[in-house]
Structure 1
Amino acid sequence: MSVVTADDADVHRGSPPKRGEWTVDDLARTPEDGVRRELFNGELIVSPAPILLHQRAALAIRDALQAACPPDLEVFVAPVDYEIALDTSFQPDVVVLRRADIDILDGVVRKPAVVVVEVLSKSTRKFDLEDKPKAYGNSGVERHWTFDPLTAHFVARRWLGAKYAEVAEARGEQRIRLDEPYPVEICPAEIING
């Protein structure tokens, strides 16, 4: 399976927008049915449900981040709508936010995240590695991390004004310590094992 763009009436109450003309308001009017929908430059992106290994990895990363999280920050797992622009809204697998930027009743994040983490899957790999990073960086997200559960590969990147640059990497049993945005240890093998 792969990520697909969609524009049919089944995912939108009433007449759907034309392809490439979706907005976050249109996205908000789609049914709350558990289907993962994201927007990228006005295109509706519909992704299949992730495999259980993906879910285990996302929760393990969340747990590692949460265990060390300072009180002014908070860690969330998808689905969290992160609205980057009127025509772009992503759902990072794990996201660290400033508590001051959270409206807990709204459910939508509009201020730059401290860290976004994408757990890679076959269906979203290209989207997560090629399309999302530049949009995240341009929206003010300084840290973009990826984890591939099939290869036990973790990469931490930092925004340098025009692109993300790798600052740390670990595979398998390797253990790394990241000091930004706060000290946390990551071991890919432990993430896979939950």
Structure 2
Amino acid sequence: MSVAPKASTPAWPTPPKGGWTADDLDQLPNLPPHTELIDGRLVFVSPQTIFHERAIDFLKWQLQSVAPDDFEIFRELTIDLDQQNRPEPDVVVVRADAAEDLTQTRFPVSAVLLAIEVMSEESASRDRETKPMKYARAKIPHYWRVENERGRAVIHAFELEPTTGTYTSVGIFRDRMKVEAPFPIDLDLTRIKTRRDTAE
């Protein structure tokens, strides 16, 4: 006589009533890397592309090279927006004094100057709608969305409009991005290599 197989244990933790909180993200075991918390739900990201990796590297190091001494640039660390939202921008500019110790995994939203998301197919709606809305409500002054547009990097840059509490576009940048805020930045976007003949 065959024995019926036992029911398998769920692969991921079952959320509590009301959803997970920002503090839970550091306590839950065996989460995949770069898990985010959006509206009390865990968001698992898909495997990243070469473009995604190159864009993050380029922006981190270019911004670090021109940022004033009182700011630091980090990649893939989370922001505490509120108890139910702890997203992980691909690149974030924060006040240097917010980097308190080497073991921290997140920053208070009050320390964030700029959040950057490098968009992928699976993150398109979050990066175009959900995250900018939440970043604006949390009063992050600047938001950039980076897209791979037919083989070249394009940056959509936004600035918080204080009277409405929403983002307004400050430009769509192809090939070169030159802005004065959040600090003077002049980027050669053609150096984000997207094709095999320019490295991919």
The yes-or-no answer on 1:118 pairing with 2:121 is no
Question: Distance between the aligned counterparts of 1:97 and 1:130, measured in 2?
Answer: 23
**1:51–1:116 Cα change, 3 Å:** same
Q: What secondary structure, in the 3-state scheme, does the structure 1 residue paired with 2:192 have?
A: helix
Q: Superposed, which structure 2 residues align to 1:46-65 within 5 Å? A: 46-65=44-63
Q: In the alignment, which residue of structure 2 is the partner of 1:93?
A: 90
| 1:82 matches 2:93 | no
Tell whether the 8 Å contact from 1:58 to 1:94 is kept in structure 2 after alignment.
yes
Name the counterpart of 1:66.
Answer: 64
Are the structure 2 counterparts of residues 169 and 120 from structure 1 closer, same or farther at C-alpha, using a change threshold of 3 Å?
A: same
SS in 1 for 2:74: strand
For the aligned residue pairs, the C-alpha RMSD in angstroms reads 2.0
Runs (4 or more) in structure 1 with deviation over 6 Å come to none
Deviations 1:80-135 (A, max 9, x none): 01111111001100000001222233222113310011001111111111000111
Contact 2:155 2:172 in 1 (8 A): yes
SS in 2 for 1:124: helix
> Which has the greater radius of gyration?
2
Unaligned segments of structure 1, at least 5 residues: 1-7
1:163 aligns with 166
Whichever residue aligns with residue 182 of structure 2, its letter is: P
Q: What residue in structure 1 maps to residue 132 of structure 2?
A: 133
Q: Secondary structure at the match of 1:134?
A: helix
Distance in 1 between residues matched to 2:31 and 2:47, nearest whole Å: 12
TM-score (structure 1 length as normaliser):
0.84
Which structure 2 residue ranges, 5 or more long, are not aligned? 1-8
Q: Return the offset for 1:43.
A: 1.6
Change (3 A) 1:185 1:23: same
Structure 1 match to 2:26: 28
- Cα distance in 2 for partners of 1:150, 1:20 equals 39
Q: Number of aligned pairs?
A: 181
Aligned CA distance change for structure 1 residues 34 and 41 (closer, same or farther; 3 Å): closer
User: What is the identity, as a one-letter code, of the residue corresponding to 2:118?
Assistant: V
Normalised TM-score (structure 2): 0.82
Shift of residue 150, structure 1, vs aligned partner: 4.2
Q: Once the two structures are superposed, what CA deviation does each residue of 1:15-59 show, in whole Å capped at 9, x if it has no partner?
A: x32476111122222235552211111121111121121010111
Contact 1:155/1:168 (8 A) holds in 2 = yes
- The AA in structure 2 aligned to 1:149 is N
The corresponding residue for 2:6 is none
